[in-house]
Structure 1
Amino acid sequence: MYNRSVRPFLTTRSLAPENQESPIHFLTKPIISYEYFYLRNHFNYPTLKEENFFFSIGGEVTQPQTFHLYDLLQMPKRKVLMLLECAGNKRSKFEPKVYGEQWEEGAISQGVWEGVSLKDLFQYTGLKAQAKEIVFEGYDFGEDKSKGKYLSYKRSLPLSKALHEDTIIAYKYNDQPISLKHGAPFRLIVPHWYGMASVKWVKSMDVVSYSFQGPYQTEDYVYYPYEDSDIDAYPVTTINVNSIIKAPLNFSILKKGEHTIKGIAWTGMGNVRKVELSLDHGQTWMEAKIEQEIKSHYSWVSWTFLWEFHKPGEYTLLCRAIDSHNRAQPMEAFWNRKGYGYNRISEIKVKIEG
């Protein structure tokens, strides 16, 4: 535990809109409180009014309806312990550099979300046979200067993902009402997908029979493999297998002797099967001890490795996670011009003094 008289703080990436990184290297518990949960916004925060406590469901449904927060509180609730990771997490590490918020490693946090499964919610409205996707719109809106127009935040999910039992409309986080900055009163929570899918301040759900083409669906949150071409582009969805070395910090100076290397690892497919470390640039790997502190399909795992440094000098420490689908962190990141999904093998450098 850190000394509470010395507290970590979020790291500011921008103020308008507000984007802040979690102090992930200094957090020791698997459940992250609001004060340390990262913030990712496209616009300024909406002002909460009475109408914000309603959302509508329409389109290709048999019975359009409007729901109030009180309605959801009367329905069967579902709790999901889940991490959220911004698709741009670690963007600052790409080479060549890419434009966008220069996130380091702190655009990730996790906790317990509580709400109602969309699968249960749509039992009240029904779905027509031609239903294909559900378009979610948030109350947040404003000028997107990169696009030169005023927009609201809209994204869609295919029915197969939207109707997963753990895709929920959440109204609580860690047993408390969701805060305004994190999407109150309603936030979509989508397991195993990057955070852009978990729309905040949900205003409406429109069931459509076509593939939604909104700008935050088909322009942003798309992998573009080439600098000057859209060839082979495809959408950002599932979280890549990834890890962070939390301690020691990069470029630390340490004394000769035993040191416990600590970190976290996560994946958007299955679960983390193995975490390995290397001190010889990946020629050989040694397995770390995984500590599953909490039982969840959607959380990170903590890991530790006891290393004894006998000889003074400078060392490069590599870490890679491997999931149950045999996806492993690569030696080189998949470069894409908007800087999404960075998951190159984690690396720190340390100096050992005698």
Structure 2
Amino acid sequence: MKSFHSDTMKPTLKTLKLIPENKETPIHFLRNWITPSEYFYRRNHFKYPEITPQSFLLPIYGHVEAPLVFHHSYLKSMPSKKITMVLECSGNKRTYFEPKAYGEQWEDGAISHGIWKGVTLKSLLDMVVVKHGAKEIVFIGHDKGTRTDMEGIFHYARSLPIDVALQPDVLIAYELNGSTIPYEHGYPLRLIVPQWYGMASVKWLKEIQIIDHPFKGPFQTVDYVYYPHKANDLDARPVTNIKINSIIQQPLDYSILDTGTHEICGIAWSGHGSITTVELSFDNGSTWIKAKLSVDPKQKYSWTFWRYLWNVQKKGEYTILCRAEDSSGNVQPFEAEWNKKGYGFNAVYKVHIKIE
């Protein structure tokens, strides 16, 4: 059996942009259950913020009975929780949309898998006592800058519906993979929202505001919205949970291999449940063969590794298709739902192989 992984070479992050810094995880060359922190993808809208003493204070105010300011050290003294989860940019795989969508042309690496530790957001909201009639929780980051489509200085800010914010696994995190959150990933405090695309997990958390009306910030109502029509904004809806998805890590697209047995391996994930099936097709989808899954049933927000041993004796060109299904019955479609901003690409994955 041929192996596609080397123990002597080390991959690197792939740079899409330096300012603001946007870099992909070398996802095709990692078989780590937990993505090492140095290989976590980086998605920024602005330059990195300056860390000051104010950065260690977290005010929670607004539609509450008892507004409070929490210090970083106090949060670390509270009962903690760990969550192992997929973190994926909603623009992951944007480059595959046809017609093309404007934005960072992510390929497969705007995704990582880590262990986050912090306090539950619910425990903090219980302390400030959210008033009746609260509708959304707004999370404002320290990172700020200008936009090309409107005037002014904007902080990165997003909101969650109150029912989502109160879910027991939403965290105010201060650790990643057993160490302090790296500066590049939101130090000292970051919101962590399992099963939602990464735009919800606000970095460098500055303040939390409870409101009794819909939040209208540009990263809520302009960006991170599915616009299914090119000519207008009809049928727009917000980007929320991660769609069912998968990739073939190895072999790489347009690889040249010899005859024999090869391991085809990859990852599958979903924000709507656990992965139940991964299938491969070698005849353009006429028939499908199940791959072997590697699942941790205790980690409900984790990705799933899969593998299949492919014995090929006939020379020629092949297209290998891959699709996943989750516990909610979602199956990867043959075509992703096109949208103007290029979010949520999750079409059946394919690689082209030549056997010589």
Regarding TM over 0.5, the answer is yes
Structure 1: tracts of 5 or more residues without a match: none
Partner letter of residue 168 of structure 1?
L
Asked whether 1:172 is paired with 2:172, we answer no
The structure-2 alpha-carbon separation of the partners of 1:166 and 1:148, relative to structure 1 and needing over 3 Å to count, comes to: same
- Structure 2 counterpart of 1:65, from 68, 72, 80: 68
Structure 2 counterpart of 1:145: 148
1:201 corresponds to which residue?
204
Equivalence map 1:75-86=2 (5 Å) = 75-86=78-89
Task: Report the counterpart of residue 125 of structure 1 in structure 2.
Answer: 128
Q: CA deviation at 1:300?
A: 0.5
Determine if contact 1:293/1:302 at 8 Å carries over to the other structure.
no
Aligned positions of 1:1-354 closer than 5 A: 3=6, 5-293=8-296, 295-353=298-356
Shift of 1:293: 4.9
CA drift at 1:295? 3.2
Q: Deviations over 1:80-103 (max 9, x none)?
A: 001100000000000011100000
Distance 1:310 1:96 in 2: 37
Contact (CA 8 Å) 1:279, 1:317: kept in 2 or not? yes
C-alpha deviation, 1:10, in angstroms: 0.5
Q: AA paired with 2:143?
A: D
CA–CA distance in 2 between the matches of 1:352 and 1:2?
Answer: 19
Distance 1:135 1:291 in 2: 37
Structure 2 unaligned regions, length at least 5: none
Structure-1 separation of matches of 2:151 and 2:333? 37
Asked if the contact 1:30–1:293 (Cα under 8 Å) also holds between the matched residues in 2, the reply is no
Q: Cα distance, 1:6 vs. partner?
A: 2.2
Do the aligned residues in 2 keep the contact of 1:167 with 1:189 (CA within 8 Å)? yes
SS at structure 1 position matched to 2:146: strand
Paired with 2:8 and 2:247, the residues of 1 have a C-alpha distance of 26
1:148 shift after superposition: 4.0
TM-score, normalised by the number of residues in structure 2: 0.97
Partner of 2:153, secondary structure, is: strand
Number of residues of Structure 1 aligned to a counterpart in Structure 2: 353
For 1:75 and 1:338, locate their aligned partners in 2 and report how far apart those are by CA, in whole Å: 40
1:3 positional shift = 4.9
What is the letter of the counterpart of residue 243 of structure 1? S
Please identify runs of 4+ aligned residues in structure 1 that moved more than 6 A. none
Matches of 2:156 and 2:309, distance apart in 1: 46
Letter in 2 for 1:81: T
C-alpha displacement of 1:124: 1.3
Question: Partners of 1:256 and 1:206 in 2: how far apart?
Answer: 60
Q: How far off is 1:145 after superposition?
A: 2.3
Q: Secondary structure at the match of 1:149?
A: coil
Partner of 1:123: helix, strand, or coil? Answer: helix
Mapped to 2, the partners of 1:284 and 1:149 lie a distance apart of 54
Letter paired with 1:260:
E
Question: Against the structure 1 CA distance between its residues 294 and 184, is the aligned structure 2 distance closer, same or farther, given a 3 Å change threshold?
Answer: farther
C-alpha offsets along residues 28-80 of structure 1, whole Å, 9 cap, x if unaligned? 11101121000000000001111100110000111000000111011110000
State the superposition RMSD in angstroms.
1.1
Q: Whole-Å Cα distance in 1 between the matches of residues 38 and 287 of structure 2?
A: 40
Alpha carbons 1:87, 1:340 under 8 Å: kept: yes
Output the CA distance in 2 between the equivalents of 1:28 and 1:101: 25
- State the AA in 1 paired with 2:193: V
TM-score (norm 1): 0.98
What is the CA–CA distance in structure 2 between the aligned matches of 1:36 and 1:290, rounded to whole Å? 24
Q: Which amino acid aligns with 1:301?
A: T
- CA–CA distance in structure 2, aligned partners of residues 264 and 146 of structure 1: 36
What CA deviation, in whole Å up to 9, does each residue of 1:288-310 have, x standing for no partner? Answer: 11111573111100000111111
Closer/same/farther in 2, CA of residues 344 and 3 from structure 1, 3 Å limit: closer
